[in-house]
Amino acid sequence: MIITSDFFIAMMEIYLKETAILNYSDSAIQKFVETHTNDMQTETEKAVALFYAVRDGFLYNPYYINTDKEELKASKVIERGFGHCIDKASLLIACLRNANIPARIGLAKVKNHIATERLEEYLGSNILTPHGYVEVWLGNSWWKITPAFNQRLCEKLGVANLEFNGRNHCLFQEFDEDGSLFMEYLEDYGHFEDIPIRFIVQNMLENYPNLSAHNSEGISIDLGMLEL
């Protein structure tokens, strides 16, 4: 198949669209993007700045999971100030698209070796799925990046911070600073142009059967904040 420039442009425009969840015209998101990219000239500079702004400006909390469309909105994450991995991915994608940089969400299954005992007890497993990360288009390549773990959290967990320079993949750390297993990617579900709520709910119900007794159409878990 020969991909023409017109076809490529049309394809990439999908990853620049605003959606009900990736609501980047919201005034809070516009202000956030302007604040963190005001002095930036290139797409790479803007993408890197937004990655760090979302990574460290919003606390990662795996104990709060809500698949309601309103709770997943990027503007809601801005308002809340913390989020699950998919929440933070939603926010970063919205910010990148606001800056006219193509971005999309990727979902995967990971094995957890971090301090989330309450969640493991609730779910009956140390498998976390689906984990959300971001794919961003820079320099004619898609780069996989995850803004989930903020710097303060990494310091307390004894794991190196993830760093992004616009020319590398930036996914979860496999080992901590002592060489112990930290996170393992088990399966990649691919990428999506919008946050696929139906897929997320179905995936969680399939992997955590006990949830079906509590949630028939959506997932809502609130076990408080991650205490470290």
pLDDT tens for 9-52 read 777 899 999 999 999 999 999 999 999 999 899 999 999 999 99
Token couple for 75:
């503007």
Per-residue pLDDT at 64: 92
Confidence of residue 1 (pLDDT cuts 50, 70, 90): very low
How far is the C-alpha of 63 from the C-alpha of 226, rounded, in Å? 7
The contacts of residue 183 (CB under 8 Å, 6+ apart) are: 110, 111, 112, 113, 114, 172, 173, 174
What does R_g of the chain's alpha carbons equal in angstroms?
A: 17
Average pLDDT, stretch 118-123? 84
Where do the structural domains in the chain lie, given as residue ranges? 20-222
Entry pTM: 0.91
> pLDDT for 173-212, tens place per residue?
665 666 666 678 889 999 999 999 999 999 999 998 877 6
Confidence of residue 70 (pLDDT cuts 50, 70, 90): very high
Other CB atoms within 10 Å distance of the CB of residue 204: 21
How far is the C-alpha of 215 from the C-alpha of 71, rounded, in Å? 16
The CA dihedral of 166, 169, 172, 174, to the nearest 10 degrees, is -130
20-222 placed in CATH 2.60.40 = no
Identify residue 175 by its one-letter amino acid code. F
How far is the C-alpha of 129 from the C-alpha of 111, rounded, in Å? 9
Helix (H, G, I), strand (E, B) or coil at 167: coil
- Is the per-residue pLDDT at 217 higher than 50? yes
> pLDDT for 75-101, tens place per residue?
999 999 999 999 999 999 999 999 999
Kindly report the backbone phi and psi dihedral angles of residue 189, in degrees, each rounded to the nearest multiple of 5, phi listed first. Answer: -90, 0
Whole-number percent of the chain with pLDDT over 90: 60
Which 8-state DSSP code applies to residue 170? B
Confidence of residue 6 (pLDDT cuts 50, 70, 90): low
How far is the C-alpha of 168 from the C-alpha of 151, rounded, in Å? 19
Kindly report the backbone phi and psi dihedral angles of residue 26, in degrees, each rounded to the nearest multiple of 5, phi listed first. Answer: -55, 135
- Is the per-residue pLDDT at 65 higher than 60? yes
**80-112 as b/e: b if 16+ CB within 10 A:** bebbbbbbbbbbbbbbbbbbebbbbbbbbbbeb
Per-residue pLDDT at 174: 65
